[in-house]
A and B are shown apart, each in its own frame.
Chain A
């Protein structure tokens, strides 16, 4: 019995939420409103790493941590592109990922929303051209919005996402 009580206290302690500041509170509120209005309260993201160093993926994953907690805003990650509302691209567009990326873009339902994240997709990172890189992602298919940074911090991703959602009709 005592062990159960102790376990319950420990679980509560582990699940304590960190304090969030005014700006983050505001971002949460506004993003949730936009998702409710434009995506019926559920925004499904398909994240495709086309050749990144991994940092952008870690920051996207960070959005689901207890501080940013985007799942409570209705945001979730899906692993089938046909289920996605927005396709998110990170990294340099490599030769080996190119056909997969193009196939995913074809399957993405209309209207096709594509956001590029980080400096790599638009070739703004320090990498140089090689035969193994297809070039800028937006040359090969239509992208709607770009959130730059190397990598963009989670808060900047949220700011960018809000701006994008606000711009959608």
Chain B
């Protein structure tokens, strides 16, 4: 079974632990007086972070866990606060003035939360010897905004602008995941024209994120021409997104109440131009082995680790694991979707997959221009539990939402970054320090989505 997520929610008489796998979801109830939960991290290593978060959120003790450190609560976070419990309603807190000193030993390096390896605040702790990374650890949740708590008690309508802004670079994927939950709760089916438009913007977002990642990977191997080349294309792409959706990132693009149309002249030129430029770049790289030399065998993620950690998206596809939410969709297949695949599991594989996926996205996007969408109303919603899965540019994005009295009772997100951040310790080990930047950039990582 592939492990997807594990989280808790509070009910009147007990806590309910929901463990989501690909083939089934297991729900277990634990008592509130002495809440304990048996860890599954031995079999599913990426469950560690989920379980640490459950402890921080609800005060549930995890049995047989090898890592019980706080994940969400940093040193100044007040002790003995379990913010996801219904009884916790405070909007402010007194910071804990007792500071715990970190000790990393004589060779430890702490990067961040502000550092050149990632735009967003995050901390990496590593040990190196002879310029080789011996140990690497990610310390997330610097950007913890308590989104899950924030939206509790809100209507779906009111929470929408918040969900849009969980991750700026994956906003379209988040909007679509959220819309799918809303659609399920309304027991409606969206017209094809709407699905077509949404697919276009999701693929455009994927293209832009892949271009951004490739630009940064080029920068970290000092291939400035490559970085320059991709940055130019990224800017053209963002302007195209703005011309087509009204926003450079696509905020608010999923809006059923508006009539809209993708105009041919605004989109087609960019798609054609991008395709031509990529073909030119690929031809150039065929005769530039020095480029691939920088990427080959760097940051290898083994297939068994991908399976053990339940990794998704292009990280999984880079070791020939055919995992993509789109492949089983009749709709996507109708538009010519084909999964990308590489098999080395290294930085070069993750670069090549991005190139292939951009071509696939462009092919699908070209088929959907001149698509006119009329307003559509979802109507009233039914209370219940709903889950959605969207293939974001980073991989499978899972969203869970429980509606009670038409208000959000529990909201949970598992972004692919939550898994990818945990594999960094394995794929960084035994690589040169010089390769740290390019390996990091090759793995999709959004701390705004991870930290929530």
Contact = CB atoms under 8 A, between A and B. Distances in A.
Contacts of A1: none
B150 A127 contact: yes
A48 B112 CA distance: 10
Interface in A52-83: 52-62, 64-67, 77, 79
A11 interface: yes
A30 interface: no
Given A47-B114, A54-B119, A96 B284 contact: no
Given A95-B77, A126-B161, A153-B248, A53 B144 contact: no
Contacts, number: 166
A57 B118 CA distance: 10
Contact of B146 (A56, A59, A98, A131): A131
Interface stretch (B46-54, B126-134, B226-234, B298-306): B226-234
B13 to A, nearest CB: 25
A98 to B, nearest CB: 7
B120 A52 contact: yes
A150 B74 contact: no
Contacts of A66: 228, 231-232, 235
B232 A65 contact: yes
Interface in A81-119: 91-92, 94-100, 104
B235 A67 contact: yes
A34 to B, nearest CB: 24
Given A15-B228, A96-B142, A48 B114 contact: yes
Interface stretch (A2-10, A35-43, A161-169): A2-10
Interface in B48-105: 74-77, 81, 83, 88, 90-93, 95, 99
Contacts of B168: 52-56, 58, 151
Contacts of A3: 287
Contact of B143 (A52, A60, A126): A52
Nearest to B113: A100
A94 B120 contact: no
Contact of B448 (A47, A52, A131, A133): A52
B229 A14 contact: yes
A58 B169 contact: yes
Contact of B235 (A15, A51, A65, A125): A65
B144 A95 contact: yes
Given A54-B167, A55-B168, A128 B150 contact: yes
Given A97-B143, A131-B83, A65 B234 contact: yes
B145 A132 contact: yes
Contacts of A58: 119, 168-169, 212, 249
Interface of B is mostly: loop
B141 interface: yes
Contacts of A6: 287
Q: Which of A53, A128, A150, A151 has the most CB of B within 10 A?
A: A53
B145 A133 contact: yes
B91 A53 contact: no
B251 interface: yes
B300 to A, nearest CB: 27
B232 A94 contact: no
A97 B123 CA distance: 11
Contacts of A133: 145-146
B76 A95 contact: yes
Given A49-B120, A67-B235, A96 B143 contact: yes
B92 A131 contact: yes
Contacts of B190: none
Contacts of A23: none
Given A54-B120, A100-B142, 16 more contacts: A3-B287, A11-B225, A16-B232, A52-B143, A54-B169, A58-B169, A65-B235, A79-B114, A96-B141, A99-B99, A131-B81, A131-B91, A131-B93, A132-B144, A132-B145, A132-B149
15 contacts: A14-B228, A18-B232, A53-B165, A57-B119, A65-B232, A67-B235, A77-B116, A94-B143, A95-B76, A96-B77, A99-B95, A104-B114, A126-B164, A131-B81, A131-B90
